[in-house]
Amino acid sequence: RHALPVGVQAVSQRRFLDPGRANTSGGERPAATRNAMAHKNPLASRNPAARSITIPDSFHAKPGSRMAMTAEQQASAVRRRVTKRYEEEMLWGAVPTVSSRENWLVSHFATLRNDAKYRYARGMMLVAGKDVLRELGGMGVHPEHLVVAEGKDIPDWAGGGGAQIVRATAEAFAEMGPNTDGYVGNFRIPDPEPTEELMANQKQFKRVAVFDNITDPGTLGSMMRTAAALAYDVVLLVNHCADIYDHRVVAAARGVHFQTLTKFISLRAEDGDDAYRIVNHVADRNNLTPVLFGAPSGTPTTGGLAAESMAPSALAPDGGRARAPAPKWLADAHAARAAKAASSESNAPG
């Protein structure tokens, strides 16, 4: 706001713009003069082309990589790959090999294994195990892709129903089907039974099982297989049971999802199903008498062997229950479990 005298203003401008004042802040700094001999070696050639140095790519490559190999080594590696591919095509036809975790098929299998919403959105499930896959093939049920781990034989029954056979390296297969025997396939989920079939069934149901809050996948799969073996008409899954299409449930059930004698129906509140009302309606419509198998008094009930599968409100309209004695195999299982628990307590350090 306060103007400087003309003389002072001129001195200030000359102070910052005077090239002679090189060390003053804001002034121009003189550039260093180029020495003609600064970058010359007396032993270097006068021809610039002769002084250029070419560094091979193998100098920067990792040991064992393709860039670190000589031309002869690369040619030998190519011959080995071509020979291996030719042998596979002669024996099994053109079998592609998946070796990267970034492959779309690896990502597809991994998401089917871990994400229930993805399974239902895609309508697909995973089935692992050579024996189970062979049994399903005998029933006429085939996967879209059959993935065989590297080093495993491709069975004769593979490829049925137009299934595409894919080999996978150990690293890729660990993402697609862990804890398996080297065989896994993706199958279409069978068409679920509509809830209306329960409300207005034409054929009377004689035996109905209700699985209530069974969250352990292995236990649920074993119980599904048992229900199918005992020829139950319908199995109702209520109160947040594990997903029946989880690969662990499927492995324990050994493919009972694809049989048609026993119907497995999940009643979920998020789908608008009133589970207990539907259970009571099924019992009334088919004149069913609820029966529970209970554990003998004083025996432990861990492990799901004596779990009651229905709440009192779901058993009968008046809340009553008919209790039958446990079968011999269940009583023997509880007796063995009780003896083992007692032995563990007696051997525990005091």
152, amino acid identity: K
Query: And the tokens for 96?
Result: 């592609």
80, amino acid identity: R
Asked if residues 177 and 184 have their Cβ atoms less than 8 Å apart, the reply is yes
Q: What is the DSSP string of 272-329?
A: T--HHHHHHHHHHHTT---EEE-PPTTS--GGGTT---S-HHHH-TT---EEEPPPHH
Give whichever of 82-91, 149-158, 288-297, 310-319 has the largest mean pLDDT.
149-158
By three-state DSSP, how is residue 53 classified?
A: coil
- pLDDT tens for 92-109 read 455 678 888 888 888 899
- pLDDT tens for 141-162 read 899 999 998 888 888 888 777 7
| CA–CA gap between residue 233 and residue 260 (Å, rounded) | 10
Q: What does the buried/exposed string (b/e) look like for 77-100 if buried means 16 or more CB atoms within 10 Å of the residue's CB?
A: eeeeeeeeeeebeeeeeebeebee
Least confident of 27-41, 185-199, 204-218: 27-41
- Up-side HSE of residue 57: CA atoms within 13 Å toward CB? 7
Asked if residues 147 and 134 have their Cβ atoms less than 8 Å apart, the reply is no
- For domain 196-344, the CATH class is alpha beta
pLDDT for 173 beyond 60: yes
CATH 3.40.1280-classified regions of the chain: 196-344
CATH 3.30.1330.30-classified regions of the chain: 97-188
| CA–CA gap between residue 283 and residue 122 (Å, rounded) | 34
Residue range 290-314: mean pLDDT, rounded: 42
Give percent of the chain above pLDDT 70.
61
226 burial level (CB within 10 Å; 0-12, 13-18, 19+): middle
CA distances from 169 to 103, 146, 247 (A): 12, 14, 21
- pLDDT tens for 46-97 read 776 666 666 666 566 666 666 667 778 888 888 887 776 666 555 445 567 8
- For domain 97-188, the CATH class is alpha beta
pLDDT at residue 80, as a whole number: 82
| CA–CA gap between residue 14 and residue 210 (Å, rounded) | 98
14, amino acid identity: R
- Res. 138 pLDDT band, cuts 50 70 90: confident
